[in-house]
Amino acid sequence: MLAALVLVAFGSLGSALTFNARDGASAGVVTKCVKPGQAAITLDDGPYNWHSQIADLLTSYKVKGTFFINGNNWACIYDKDRIANITYSYNLGHQIGLPSRLFLGSVTYPFEAHHTWSHQDLTTVSAERLDSELTLLTTAFERILGVNPAYCRPPYGNYNDTVVNAINAKGMTVMTWNADSMDSDGYTEPQSEAQYKQLLPSSDGSVIALNHETNPTTASTLIEWLIKELLNLGYELVTAAECAGGDAYQSVGQPQTPTAQWYCPSTN
Ligand SMILES: *[C@@H]1O[C@H](CO)[C@@H](O)[C@H](O)[C@H]1NC(C)=O
Ligand SMILES: *[C@@H]1O[C@H](CO)[C@@H](O)[C@H](O)[C@H]1NC(C)=O
């Protein structure tokens, strides 16, 4: 008992001395997978036009991926097509996850994770806006899919202690990436391939690859190239949650029936 108390006291003293605020935040942020040899293909900023197509592509290779979706960025999540798109990929995720669920006894392996309501830089918003950026999308998840997501990626990968604490307070873990295709920074598809060629073999044992489902050439070409490249390099393709060693969702229930409340507020 005494030993434990001493350890706890010593541990917190140690971290107070070792980390500055930014490092302290990073300590709670997932940037690589728990197991070497794993790779998570992540796709941000949807659901958008090619969402279901990308879900089909992953399925055709029998590999998993993760969509870090927004509520109101390129499109409103409550649009009929968008509801159909995430419902579609979510259901595919369950099918892909079935063997793991049966044999490993874990929860679910769906595709969707939290990327905030309207893609603001969370380090620049008010406390109220920070809260609504998280809450509005979690509500949409619960309505449309019946789940409460366990992983959140702050837009632009920008966070500070306030942001990390707010995300943690909603029960979510922060995840960024360690391999960026630069497909949202003007890289052409061949340039993104070249970038990955450099990054993938040297990334520290595992890969969290950042891509954007809103980029036409990412949807049409880059993701398929990336799947093949990762498989060639011997990586096991996993969801963001598996990569981080946790469950994808804090709770899993049933989708709700649409009501007049299912709309994107015009202030966003
Ligand atoms: C997904 O979105 C596209 C257009 O953006 C739409 O044509 C399609 O019907 C949607 N639904 C499904 C299940 O893919
Ligand atoms: C951290 O982010 C919050 C908004 O979420 C902001 O109010 C605060 O000023 C930021 N702190 C620093 C040190 O940038």
Q: Residue 29 in 3-state DSSP?
A: strand
Domains and CATH numbers, the chain: 36-252 (3.20.20.370)
Protein residue closest via CA to atom 6 of ligand 2 = 123
How many Å apart are CA 5 and CA 212, to the nearest integer?
46
CA of 48 from ligand 1 middle (Å) equals 9
* Chain segment 226-239, per-residue pLDDT in tens: 999 999 999 999 99
Percentage with pLDDT > 70 across the chain:
82
Q: How far is CA 53 from its chain centroid?
A: 18
Query: Residue 46 in contact with residue 70, Cβ under 8 Å?
Result: yes
**With bands split at pLDDT 50, 70 and 90, how would you rate the model's confidence at 2?**
very low
**With bands split at pLDDT 50, 70 and 90, how would you rate the model's confidence at 63?**
confident
* Chain segment 125-157, per-residue pLDDT in tens: 999 999 999 999 999 999 999 999 999 999 999
How many Å apart are CA 113 and CA 42, to the nearest integer?
10
pLDDT at 172 over 80: yes
**With bands split at pLDDT 50, 70 and 90, how would you rate the model's confidence at 203?**
low
84 lines ligand 2 (CB under 6 A): no
DSSP letter, residue 111: S
CA of 152 from ligand 2 middle (Å) equals 18
What's the pLDDT at 94? 55
Its sign, for the CA torsion 240, 243, 182, 190, is: negative
CB atoms within 10 A of CB 15: 12
> Residue 203 region, left (φ>0) first, then alpha (ψ -120 to 50), else beta?
beta
Q: What is the CA radius of gyration of the chain?
A: 19
In one-letter notation, the amino acid at residue 2 is: L
Ligand 1 atom with the smallest distance to the CA of 53 is: 14
Testing ligand 1's pocket by substitution, the residue of 85, 91, 214 carrying the most ligand atoms inside 8 A of its CB is: 85
Testing ligand 2's pocket by substitution, the residue of 22, 160, 163, 164 carrying the most ligand atoms inside 8 A of its CB is: 160
- Reported pTM: 0.87
Q: Which ligand is nearest to the CA of 81?
A: 1
